[in-house]
């Protein structure tokens, strides 16, 4: 790692945090789209600023860009207030208009200057470390400047400090106005002020981050970590911290992915963000797919290197043939290794990920069924004094269960110390007695209070 | 003896997108009553409450709370919005929602501390929701969510309580529990205004009633004005409701 790489990583980490904070509130307010709108509209601000001062580095551009973002929000609100269209439609009407004016202005007037759409849309990280903030420069005297380090760090750092200060100061106001705007208004915390405050911070963050990472990645960094964190926790503070963490993680691992693959940084980061989201949204399937891909890529890369050493010339081959050449060298053992690696990786991922998703949902339903069965079984034992009804071997006849099921249930009860078996006769333990009583009580009265602590162990009582 | 009015509304007109939904409302709510507002869906009941609380700006008219503008009297007023007006998937716990009731007395920037937490726990206890204090709010049943909202209003420790359909979707037990709390509030000299849909229970629960349907139809003691005539004027069809003498 050289110092330029370290600086780039610091910049993207700062950008990720600065984006994740307003992003969390945008996601909670169901306003994700507005970040997309702002990130496009600010182009108009930049272009107009450029025509005024003819200098792409002028701070006026940032001011005008942020202003354009706020104008977008105001316009969207205005159109929405007419009651003719919904918010998403209003957003869809406003930002393409502002964006296209920006594009037309560039195309008509700025053909010869360094302000082309590509550089505006993708952003450029590679030069960020060399764009230094210098002050006290004396005209004509070389090396007279005081060098303060990369400009991007100063810009993003300042924005981040402001955002954090605002967040900590107004956390309670932001929370209440996001959750219940009516109450916030009644209590005197104007939701309108909070709304425009959040929009201003979002606009400024987007503008500040825009230069370094481009609008698409800015939107991704605002929304994806927050949306992922939303699925992982039900606590606002944790959600904020998780969004920041996921954003930084995706940014840095995306950066290295781009480095390894020699691909676009923005593209790699967005890919990592998408994978993170999917891993949480549907952990089991995604873990499996990701693990298989990683395992294959791992072996592929080894063979690729080996073949390169052996002088195979890949340069002129089309991609399909390259892949074919490498794969044709695979032997059976490799596939077995590959599967082994994928399985262990997937197992690890599934173990550490939050439990959600389709397959887990199925598992949970099965689990609930088993627990109902357990309860039926315990009730049966409790209600019958006679030994014939409590004999291990005759359970299935009496409760009308299949043998296999009876066995599973008895095992489960034994494992939880709810029953004992004496001479093939099942009896309830004290714990089993207590559990059954509480569970019946719950089912009849539907009063939750009693079994609140037991719920974590048993799905049955949830939801 | 002169009556003290908790709320006076003069010539209030409210419009959404320039279409008035409340026309020229005059209303005076005496201090210490337990009042319900009745009227059909879309009558403007929620809108009336929201404009009294300054959540919606009226296009005409004035509202005063104990003789002063609402803005100066915020701390005297507590509010329970209609349950559907918030996102119950919001990442927070029951206790945290109740704590929001204390934000008003804290003002800007200051954070809730031990005192606020204690008050919130007491309010949860009062509505029988203490065991659920750490539950994520989406995992509560509809009636439990309603109780959380009630606890949040209680913790505001106000003189006037506005509640928008607190009985919506709650079972008979919860309804009794809520109305008992409301009656207790009235006993303590508080004024309680409730949007209510179940006309059968009006005479049993409330002592004051306002009929509303875009215009104010009538307002006064339940025993004097809760009759077929006013119900018909409000709902448009003939209602037969047995009024307890
Ligand atoms: N945000 C809004 N924008 C436009 N119109 C609205 C808005 N909110 C309410 N309205 C309209 O205003 C009228 C009064 O609404 P309000 O919510 O006050 O009725 P309500 O009496 O509380 O009805 P309900 O019993 O269904 O709660 C309705 O016709 C409704 O369609
Ligand atoms: Mg209503």
Over residues B86-133, the pLDDT tens digits come to 999 999 999 999 999 999 888 888 889 899 999 999 999 988 888 888
Contact B139, B89 (CB under 8 A): no
pLDDT in tens, A377-419: 888 888 777 777 777 777 767 666 676 677 777 887 888 788 8
Considering only residues B142 and A311, tell me which one the structure prediction assigns the higher pLDDT.
B142
Q: Which of B51, B91, B108 to mutate against chain A (most A CBs within 10 Å)?
A: B91
* Domains recognised in chain A with CATH numbers: 3-134+143-281 (1.10.3470.10), 287-355 (no CATH), 358-458 (1.10.10.10)
Per-position DSSP letters for A102-159, written without gaps between them: HHHHHHHH-TTSS--HHHHHH--STTGGGSEEEESPPTT-TT-SEEEEEHHHHHHHHH
Instruction: Tell whether B218 lies on the interface with A, counting CB pairs under 8 A.
Output: no
**The pLDDT of residue A87:** 79
**The pLDDT of residue B245:** 40
Q: Cβ contact (<8 Å) for A448 and B71? A: no
Is the Cβ atom of B169 under 6 angstroms away from ligand 1?
Answer: no
Instruction: Tell whether B133 lies on the interface with A, counting CB pairs under 8 A.
Output: no
Residue identifier of the C-alpha nearest atom 25 of ligand 1: B41
Instruction: Tell whether B91 lies on the interface with A, counting CB pairs under 8 A.
Output: yes
- Supply the DSSP symbol for B131: G
CA of A325 to the centre of ligand 2 (A): 69
Place of tokens 């539950």: B135
Instruction: Tell whether A240 lies on the interface with B, counting CB pairs under 8 A.
Output: no
Nearby residues of B208 by Cβ (< 8 Å), 6 or more positions away: B29, B30, B33, B34, B35, B36, B219, B220, B221, B222
pLDDT in tens, A220-235: 999 999 999 998 888 8
Q: Contacts of residue B106 in chain A, CB cutoff 8 Å? A: 172
Is the Cβ atom of B39 under 6 angstroms away from ligand 1?
Answer: yes
pLDDT for residue A451 is more than 70:
no
- pLDDT band at residue B242 using 50, 70 and 90 as cut-offs: very low
Is the Cβ atom of B159 under 6 angstroms away from ligand 1?
Answer: no
Q: Cβ contact (<8 Å) for B100 and A462? A: no
pLDDT for residue A461 is more than 60:
no
Considering only residues B245 and B139, tell me which one the structure prediction assigns the higher pLDDT.
B139
- Least confident range from A315-324, B66-75, B158-167: namely A315-324
Q: Contacts of residue A169 in chain B, CB cutoff 8 Å? A: 109
Percent of residues, chain B, with pLDDT higher than 70:
95
- Least confident range from A101-110, B161-170, B196-205, B222-231: namely A101-110
pLDDT in tens, A280-292: 888 888 888 888 8
Is the Cβ atom of B45 under 6 angstroms away from ligand 1?
Answer: yes
**The pLDDT of residue A121:** 54
**The pLDDT of residue B196:** 92
Is the Cβ atom of B166 under 6 angstroms away from ligand 1?
Answer: no
Contact B54, B71 (CB under 8 A): yes
- pLDDT band at residue A252 using 50, 70 and 90 as cut-offs: very high
Residue identifier of the C-alpha nearest atom 29 of ligand 1: B42
B197 CA closest ligand 1 atom index: 25
Q: How many C-beta neighbours within 10 Å does residue B46 have?
A: 20
**The pLDDT of residue A238:** 92
Nearby residues of A290 by Cβ (< 8 Å), 6 or more positions away: A275, A279, A345, A346, A349
Q: Compare CB distances from B86 to A172, A180, A186 and report the shortest one's residue.
A: A180
Instruction: Tell whether A168 lies on the interface with B, counting CB pairs under 8 A.
Output: no
Q: Cβ contact (<8 Å) for A180 and B17? A: no
Pocket test residue of B13, B14, B43, B213 for ligand 1, highest count of atoms within 8 A of CB: B43
Average pLDDT, chain A: 81
**Nearest ligand to the C-alpha atom of residue B52:** 1
CA B140 to chain centre: 21
Q: At what angle do helices A236-261 and A3-28 cross, to 10 degrees?
A: 140
Q: Contacts of residue B108 in chain A, CB cutoff 8 Å? A: 170, 173, 189
Structure tokens, A238: 């944790």
Strand partners, B195: B37, B164
Instruction: Tell whether B88 lies on the interface with A, counting CB pairs under 8 A.
Output: no
Minimal Cα distance from A194: which residue of B? B108
CA of A14 to the centre of ligand 2 (A): 45
Q: Contacts of residue A83 in chain B, CB cutoff 8 Å? A: 16-17
Q: Is A411 helix (H, G, I), strand (E, B) or coil?
A: helix
Mean pLDDT computed over A25-47: 88
CA dihedral defined by A204, A119, A41, A228, rounded to 10 degrees?
-60
Antiparallel, parallel or unpaired: β A132-135 and B34-38: unpaired
Antiparallel, parallel or unpaired: β B77-80 and B5-16: unpaired
Count chain A–chain B contacts defined by CB atoms under 8 A.
86
- pLDDT band at residue A92 using 50, 70 and 90 as cut-offs: confident
Minimal Cα distance from A170: which residue of B? B109
Percent of residues, chain A, with pLDDT higher than 90:
21
pTM of structure = 0.81
Distance from CA of B224 to the nearest CA of A (A): 33
Place of tokens 């009896």: A427
Residue identifier of the C-alpha nearest atom 30 of ligand 1: B42
CA of B81 to the centre of ligand 1 (A): 13
CA of B82 to the centre of ligand 1 (A): 12
Contact B145, B156 (CB under 8 A): no
**The pLDDT of residue A455:** 55
Residue identifier of the C-alpha nearest atom 18 of ligand 1: B44
CA of B193 to the centre of ligand 2 (A): 13
Burial of A405 (0-12, 13-18, 19+ CB in 10 A): middle
Q: Contacts of residue A180 in chain B, CB cutoff 8 Å? A: 81, 85-86, 100
Instruction: Tell whether A438 lies on the interface with B, counting CB pairs under 8 A.
Output: no
Q: Cβ contact (<8 Å) for B100 and A180? A: yes
Q: Cβ contact (<8 Å) for B92 and A179? A: yes
Minimal Cα distance from A166: which residue of B? B109
**Nearest ligand to the C-alpha atom of residue B213:** 1
Is the Cβ atom of B16 under 6 angstroms away from ligand 1?
Answer: yes
Q: Cβ contact (<8 Å) for A182 and B103? A: no
Residues 173-212 of B with CB under 8 A from A: none
How far apart (Å, rounded) are the C-alpha atoms in residues A179 and B145? 14
Nearby residues of B14 by Cβ (< 8 Å), 6 or more positions away: B20, B21, B22, B44, B47, B48, B51, B56, B58, B59
Mean pLDDT computed over A351-375: 74
């Amino acid at each position: 790692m050289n110092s330029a790489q370290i600086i780039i990583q610091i910049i993207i980490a700062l950008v990720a945090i600065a984006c994740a904070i307003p992003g969390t509130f945008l996601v909670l307010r169901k306003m994700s789209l507005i970040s997309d709108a702002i990130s496009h509209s600010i182009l108009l601000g930049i272009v107009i600023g450029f025509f005024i001062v003819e200098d792409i580095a002028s701070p006026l551009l940032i001011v005008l860009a942020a202003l354009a973002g706020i104008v977008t929000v105001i316009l969207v609100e205005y159109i929405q207030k007419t009651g003719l269209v919904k918010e998403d439609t209003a957003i869809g009407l406003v930002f393409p208009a502002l964006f296209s004016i920006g594009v037309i202005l560039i195309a008509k007037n700025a053909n010869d200057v360094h302000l082309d759409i590509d550089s505006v849309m993708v952003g450029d990280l590679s030069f960020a470390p060399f764009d230094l903030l210098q002050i006290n420069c004396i005209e004509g005297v070389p090396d007279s400047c005081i060098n303060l380090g990369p400009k991007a760090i100063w810009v993003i750092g300042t924005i981040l400090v402001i955002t954090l200060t605002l967040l900590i100061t107004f956390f309670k106001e932001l929370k209440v106005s996001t959750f219940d705007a009516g109450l916030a208004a009644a209590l005197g915390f104007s939701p309108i002020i909070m709304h425009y405050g959040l929009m201003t911070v979002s606009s400024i963050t987007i503008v500040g981050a825009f230069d370094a990472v481009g609008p698409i990645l800015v939107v991704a960094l605002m929304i994806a970590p927050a949306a992922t964190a939303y699925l992982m926790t039900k606590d606002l503070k944790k959600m904020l911290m998780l969004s920041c963490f996921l954003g930084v993680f995706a940014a840095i691992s995306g950066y290295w992915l781009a480095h390894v693959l020699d691909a676009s940084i923005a593209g790699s980061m967005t890919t990592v963000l998408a994978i993170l989201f999917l891993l949480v949204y549907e952990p089991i399937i995604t873990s499996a797919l990701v693990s298989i891909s990683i395992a294959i890529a791992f072996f592929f890369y080894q063979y690729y290197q080996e073949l390169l050493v052996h002088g195979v010339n890949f340069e002129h081959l089309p991609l399909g043939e390259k892949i074919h050449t490498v794969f044709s060298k695979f032997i059976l053992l490799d596939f077995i290794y590959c599967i082994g690696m994928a399985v262990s990786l997937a197992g690890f991922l599934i173990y550490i990920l939050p439990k959600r998703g389709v397959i887990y949902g199925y598992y949970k339903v099965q689990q609930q069924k088993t627990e109902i069965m357990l309860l039926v079984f315990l009730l049966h034992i409790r209600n019958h004094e006679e030994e014939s009804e409590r004999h291990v071997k005759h359970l299935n006849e009496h409760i009308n269960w299949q043998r296999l099921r009876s066995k599973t249930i008895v095992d489960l009860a034994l494992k939880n110390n709810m029953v004992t078996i004496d001479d093939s006769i099942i009896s309830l333990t004290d714990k089993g007695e207590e559990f059954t009583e509480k569970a019946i009580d719950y089912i009849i009265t539907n009063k939750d209070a009693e079994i609140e602590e037991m719920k974590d162990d048993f799905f049955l009582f949830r939801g | 003896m002169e009556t003290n009015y908790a709320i006076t509304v003069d010539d209030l007109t409210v419009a959404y997108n320039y279409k008035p939904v409340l026309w020229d409302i005059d209303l005076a709510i005496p201090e210490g009553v337990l009042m319900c507002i009745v009227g059909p869906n879309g009558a403007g009941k929620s809108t009336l409450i929201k404009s009294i609380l300054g959540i919606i700006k009226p296009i005409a008219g004035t509202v005063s709370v104990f003789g002063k503008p609402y803005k100066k009297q915020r701390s005297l007023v507590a509010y329970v919005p209609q349950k559907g007006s918030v996102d119950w998937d919001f990442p927070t716990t029951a206790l945290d929602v109740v704590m929001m009731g204390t934000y008003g007395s804290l003002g800007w920037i200051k954070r809730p501390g031990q005192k606020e937490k204690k008050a919130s726990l007491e309010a949860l206890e009062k509505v029988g929701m203490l065991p659920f204090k750490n539950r994520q709010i989406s995992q509560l049943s509809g009636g439990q969510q309603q109780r959380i909202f009630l606890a949040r209003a209680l913790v505001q420790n106000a003189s006037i309580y506005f509640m928008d359909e607190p009985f919506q979707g709650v079972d008979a037990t919860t309804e009794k529990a809520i109305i008992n709390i409301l009656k207790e509030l009235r006993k303590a000299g508080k004024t309680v205004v409730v949007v209510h849909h179940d006309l059968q229970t009006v005479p049993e629960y409330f002592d004051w009633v306002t009929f509303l349907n875009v215009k104010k139809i009538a307002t006064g003691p339940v025993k004097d004005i809760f009759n077929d005539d006013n119900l018909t004027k409000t709902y448009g069809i003939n209602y037969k409701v047995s009024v307890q003498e």
